[in-house]
Each structure stands twice: as structure tokens, then as C-alpha cells.
Amino acid sequence: MAQSVGIKDIAREAGVSVGTVSNVINRPDTVSADTRERVQSVIDRLGYVRSESARQLRAGHSRIMGLLVLDMGNPFFVDIARGAERVARDAGLGVMVCNSAQNPAEEAEYLSLFAEQRVRGVLVTPADMTGRTIETLRRYRTPFVLVDRVAEDATECSVSVDDVAGGALAMRHLIEMGHRSVAYVCGPPGLQQITDRRAGALKALAEAGLPADVLRALPTDRLDVAAGRDAGARLLGLTERPTAVFCANDLLALGVLQALYAADVRVPEDVAIVGYDDIEFAAAAAVPLTSVRQPAVTVGELAARLLLEETAEGAAEEHEHRQVVLQPELVVRTSSLRPR
């Protein structure tokens, strides 16, 4: 493999000192215009690329921000990545996106990789609900911001959306549409955001003076479209079929919609459906999906900003850790509207 071009090669070729080449790269305003142009043309001609590892050794971290998501197949996390990348790019950083697939062991491997790469810090939606994620990050001394999860410790930053409020929005809407038998397609146990959505739905039932058993849990083993299709099939097999379905996210809702459509069950006439996240495909579905919208791009932007603020040079003293909680909003579409 060809020897990489070094700063000494540039200096020799341009007939200047190594210090002058360094100034052209790092402090160009300290070098005269013609020297700067002469050195820059040699850099371009020889294809010199400055050594990130050398810079990293000096700065103590790389120009990479880690992002560890629960499910790369879920457009919700793509939107979070979009927001984080926008802020990171403006700060001259790149984003390394890794997917825990809700698997704590895979999550642990990526946390170790981020530490080895000396990333600036990590935005993470923990897959491990026992707190081990945070313990590991602290052990590695990797700065982090929790995403889609409220930090329980005031010394941690987090950006999340009020999922209790979101669940209540969904259920209030279904109550208003006249539904008194609702299935909650809730994915696997353990994710706080999913638990909070159910708690919000139960709160709305209580506020309306309705019993909790209006809402019937329909657990699935994953939070994707296939799991939604499976839940839809089980729904069709129920002797007393609910008149509405509240799904813990839009991927589940799209799967339920597919299963009902395949069985000639009409949505919303026979069964109303409400999803959560308001991903791009919700509006584009065969029956446009009512959903509780999470401002995912904003979540990503704010989380990246908090991480940059916390890891800025000399920020240790004045950085104020914040637990930002944003509000969801209900986006009503055809899938839950009461037929005229």
C-alpha cells in the first residue's frame, strides 16, 4: 500500500518549514496569502489528509458522536439520527449510528466500541432496563445523553417525549369516537416508553369514569410490522373483538392494518386503529393512520446539542444537566374516524 503523505513531505515539496505547513492547516490567517496558496497546492497535488489519530491524541476525543438506537428498522430512530446528524455536522462532527436491536449484549459491545474510538460522546436509548447501560458509560467515562428516556439522575442529560400524555391523547380520542372496548398492542414488556403509553391510556379511562378493563393488553414479542400482523391475526380470533386498537408504535399499527385488510375487516368502520410516533409511512398507509406524533427530529437535535454543550472545552463547570421532556400531539386521520 502506498506510503501516506506526511506533513514533512509537504514542507519539503513546498520549500517551507513543517511549522508553516501546520499553520496553513490549523491557523491559515497567520500565513501570507502566497505561501498559503503554494502550500495548499502541494497538499492538493500530493493528496495529504491530516492524521485524525494524531489530532485525537492531542484533543483526547475524536470528531465522532455515537448514536445507539433500539431498532434501525424503525423510521422513528432514523428521524432521531437525522436531527442529531444536522447538529453534529454543523459542529464539524460525524455520527456513528449503531443498532442494539433491543439486545443488551449487543448494546454492551457497541458501548465498548464507542469508548475505543474515543467518541466525543454517545446519544443512547438504553436497551438494558437494569441501569447497566449507564453504569458502563460511566465506567468508560464516555459522556452521554439519554434519548427517548427520562434521566432519573439530575447529573445526567436526557431528551424524551411525555409518553403518559401521549397514551392519554390516544385513548381520549378513541373514547370520543365512542369506543368502549380497546386492545392495546404493546410489544414486549420492559420498555419504559411502552409502559408509560399504557399508563396514559388508563389515566384517560379513569378521567372519563370508565373502567380499566375497557383496555385489553395484546402483547407481542417485537415492535415491528410482522409483530403487528401477528397481533392483528390474534385480534381476529377473539370471540369478543374490540372495536378499536391502540398500538404502541406505528410499525405495529401498520401490521395490524395489513392483517385486518387481508381478512376483509374494514378500518375504521369495523375496527379503528391508532398508532404512535407518526412516522412518514403513517400518513401514506392504505388507510391513513391516526397516530400520536413524537417530534423525533427535534429530539435528535436537542440531544446532540446537549452533548456538545456538555463536552465543550472547559464546560465541566458551567454545564447544567437538563432532562428535557417534549410534548406529543395527536394527528387524526382516517383509521380512527367514526364513520359518518
Give me the residues that bind ligand RIB (CB under 6 A), please.
70-71, 74, 76, 148, 193, 223, 249, 276-277
CA distances from 117 to 33, 66, 84, 100 (A): 36, 10, 19, 17
Q: Decide whether 171 or 223 has the Cβ nearer to ligand RIB.
A: 223
CA gap 195, 218 in Å, rounded = 13
Considering the complex, what minimum distance in angstroms separates the CB of residue 154 from ligand RIB? 22
CA distance 53 to 244: 56
Closer residue to ligand RIB, CB minimum distance, 6 or 73? 73
Q: Which three cell numbers stand for residue 189?
A: 414488556
Give the shortest CB-155-to-ligand RIB separation in angstroms. 24
- Backbone φ, ψ for residue 166 (5° rounding): -65, -45
Q: How far is CA 323 from CA 71, 147, 279, in A?
A: 23, 10, 24
Dmax of the chain from CA atoms? Answer: 87
Grid cell digits, residue 40: 495548499
CB nearer to ligand RIB: pick between 70 and 303 = 70
Min dist CB 7 to ligand RIB, Å, is: 46
Smallest separation (angstroms) from ligand RIB to the CB of 235:
20
Neighbours of 35 (CB within 10 A): 16
State residue 329 phi and psi, 5-degree precision.
-140, 150
Residue among 77 and 144 whose Cβ is closer to ligand RIB:
77
Identity of the residue, 223 or 235, whose beta carbon is nearer to ligand RIB in the bound complex: 223
Report the nearest approach of ligand RIB to the CB of residue 318 (Å): 31
Beta bridge partners of 68: 98, 124
- Least distance to ligand RIB, CB of residue 72, Å: 11
Facing residues of 182 across strands?
A: 215, 244
Residue nearest to ligand RIB (CB): 249
Collapsing DSSP to helix, strand or coil, 101 comes out as coil
Closer to ligand RIB by CB, 174 or 191: give it.
191
* Residue number, 76 or 144, with CB nearest to ligand RIB: 76
Q: To the nearest whole angstrom, how small is the minimum distance from the Cβ of residue 216 to ligand RIB?
A: 20
Amino acid at 285: A
Length of the chain: 340
Minimum gap (Å) between residue 247 Cβ and ligand RIB: 10
Phi–psi pair at 92, nearest 5 degrees: 80, 20
Residue 38 or 222 with smaller CB distance to ligand RIB: 222
